[in-house]
Amino acid sequence: MSQGSFVFSSTALRSLELDKDMLERHKYKTQLATHHLSSYMLKKEAMERAQRRSTFARRPAVCQDVVIHNALYTGDVEALKRFFPRGSMANLVIEPQGGEMRWMAQGEGLWSLTYEQELTTPLHITAGRGFVDCLRLLLERGANVDLAPGGTTALHEACESCQAECAKLLLIYGANANAVSEDGLMPLHVCTSSESFECAKYLLQYGATINGCTLDEDDAPLHIAARHGLHDHVELYLRHGAAVDKQNNEGLTPLNAACAQPQEMKYLGRYLKVCQMLLDAGADVHTKDQDKRTPLHMACKNANPDIADLLLAKGSSVNNMDYGGEAPMHNILKVVCYKVSHHPERIVRALLNHGSIRVWPGALPVVLKHCSESPHTIEVLLNAYSHLKVTDTWVESVPEDAFKASCLNC
């Protein structure tokens, strides 16, 4: 045995072997962990590169080419095929030339008169004009279906323009049926005409929220349909579960909204049908808005006699006062001279027959002046009294022209 060496016992040797095995296992685990970490980092880097490439690919280019603009605005599909051959991307933002002039701040207190540009996309242009073939071509070439550089999507544009086939095509390609514009409107909210009915149907088929509300007024689609007298839309929305008594920021339910909307003579029947549907669906005739006006107050203000009859038949109170202390009778008497063709005397008669308080006799001269254009209304008012004292102020209250006209009609 050499000097400086010593003999290992069996226990010591065993301990050294265990230490060696432990070191080898630790080394293996370290190598394995390093391999996994390296693999993870490579995959992460690859994913980030792919994401960057994808983001770059989706980023729309700004197009100011007048030739392309002309092809889009005229629906020239053959020209678009040349501009966007197979394999190309049609993901563009259109910056139109011209427009209205307005003063714009340029910094450091400087202002300049500049054209007001409203950014749009090829999808907006073609969808809003009903160019279905052009729209399909652009979607096939990768146009971003929900791009909204001007604050609204192409789906908003199609629905607002009542282009049902374009709306359907956008939805098939994944357009968000509940996209919110910068004005707080979903596509269903811009379906405001009878011609937009098919658009509304497609939106609901592709997941539009039936009770989604506007950001400013808190109007649901049913409010908007009722306000515009769209009975087909109202029926559709009720069938899809629209909340019939939802109140907006002003306290208006869809029934209140329908009754409150100014109504021309030719549209009285449309609004009657809307109100009938809402009442059949359980709408409450007693709901008051923030000014404590009921649907009957509003129907009287707009002089729709059929709706007034309908509301009274459903139990609406004739003597409820609004925030200003006015009953439904006040509302109809204030508009008689503007709504003679609406037969306001029918509403006055119906209110009196359902227990409305009568006009104070001392106020009759003022009422005569306001109702002078409608002798039938005056007749109904006077017939509510068993006897009245007629004074010279009555004659003075009625304009001479109105008096002569009423005499000729007698």
pLDDT of residue 54: 43
Q: Is 3 left (phi over 0), alpha (psi -120 to 50) or beta?
A: beta
Per-residue pLDDT tens over the stretch 42-77? 445 545 544 444 444 457 778 878 888 889 989 999
Tell me the average pLDDT across 91-106.
64
CA 328 – CA 273 distance, rounded (Å): 21
Average pLDDT over residues 21-37: 61
Per-residue pLDDT reduced to its tens digit, 347-396: 999 999 999 988 877 777 777 777 878 888 888 888 887 776 666 665 55
Helix segments in 59-131, DSSP class H: 66-74, 77-83, 122-129
Beta bridge pairs of residue 355: none
Distance of CA 377 to the CA centre of its chain: 40
Taking phi over 0 as left and psi of -120 to 50 as alpha, with beta for the rest, 325 belongs to left
The token pair at 210 is: 């039936």
Query: Is the per-residue pLDDT at 7 higher than 70?
Result: no
Averaged pLDDT for residues 98-110 = 55
Comparing 111 with 46, the larger pLDDT belongs to 111
- Of 128, 156, 179, the position where a domain reaches its end is 179
- CA dihedral (240, 286, 304, 398) in degrees, to 10, reads -160
pLDDT at residue 112, rounded to an integer: 58
CATH code, domain carrying 378:
1.25.40.20
Q: Is 198:164 a contact under the CB 8 Å cutoff?
A: yes
Q: Where are the alpha helices (DSSP H) in 261-399?
A: 268-280, 295-301, 305-313, 328-335, 344-353, 364-370, 375-382, 392-397
How many domains does the chain contain in total?
A: 2
> Of 108-112, 150-154, 377-381, which range is least confident?
108-112
Q: Is residue 21 over pLDDT 50?
A: yes
250 is a domain residue? no
Q: Which helix (H) or strand (E) holds 18?
A: helix 10-58
Helix, strand or coil, per DSSP, at residue 110: strand
> Which of 126-130, 252-256, 314-318, 390-394 has the lowest average pLDDT?
390-394
Nearest to 136 by CA among 104, 162, 168: 168
Q: Which of 208, 202, 134 is nearest to 168 (CA)?
A: 202
| Token pair of 57 as six digits | 């690919």
Residue 146 pLDDT > 50, yes or no? yes
- CA–CA distance, 15 with 31 (Å, rounded to integer): 24
With a CB cutoff of 8 Å and minimum separation 6, the contacts of 282 are 244, 245
Of 179, 194, 228, the one marking the end of a domain is: 179
- Given a cut of 50, is residue 2 above it in pLDDT? no
5 confidence band (pLDDT: 50, 70, 90): very low
The tokens describing 262, both together, are: 């100014």
- Domain assignment present for residue 245? The answer is no
> Which of 179, 204, 226 is a domain's end point?
179
Looking at residue 408, its pLDDT comes to: 40
Q: Which of 327, 235, 243, 247 is nearest to 275 (CA)?
A: 235
Rounded to the nearest integer, the mean pLDDT of the chain is 83
pLDDT at 38 over 90: no
- Measure the CA–CA gap between 127 and 123, rounded to whole angstroms: 6
Judge whether 289 and 250 are in contact, CB under 8 Å. yes
Here the tokens at position 312 are 């009274």
Amino acid letter for position 330: H
* pLDDT given at position 394: 58
Residue 159 domain flag: yes
Backbone angles phi, psi at 107, to 5 degrees: 100, 155
**Residue 303, pLDDT score:** 95
Q: Which structural domain range is residue 376 located in? A: 293-410
321 domain-assigned: yes
Q: What is the dihedral of CA 342, 334, 325, 386, to 10 degrees?
A: -80
Residue 235: inside a domain: no
> Would residue 327 count as lying in a domain?
yes
Q: Decide: 223 and 246 in contact? Cβ < 8 Å.
A: yes
Whether residue 175 has pLDDT greater than 90? yes
Structure tokens at 113: 């008169």
Which pLDDT tens digit goes with each residue over 226-249? 999 999 999 999 999 999 999 999
Q: Are 277 and 231 in contact (CB under 8 A)?
A: yes
**How many H helices and E strands in the chain?**
20, 4
pTM of the model: 0.77
pLDDT score for 366: 76
* Helices 305-313 & 344-353 angle (0-180, nearest 10): 20
pLDDT of residue 90: 83
User: What confidence tens digit (pLDDT) does each residue in 202-223 have?
Assistant: 999 999 999 999 999 999 999 9
Q: Which pLDDT score is estimated for 53?
A: 40
Do the domain assignments include residue 406?
yes
44 CB-near residues (< 8 Å, 6+ apart): none
Q: Per the domain annotation, does 186 fall within a domain?
A: no
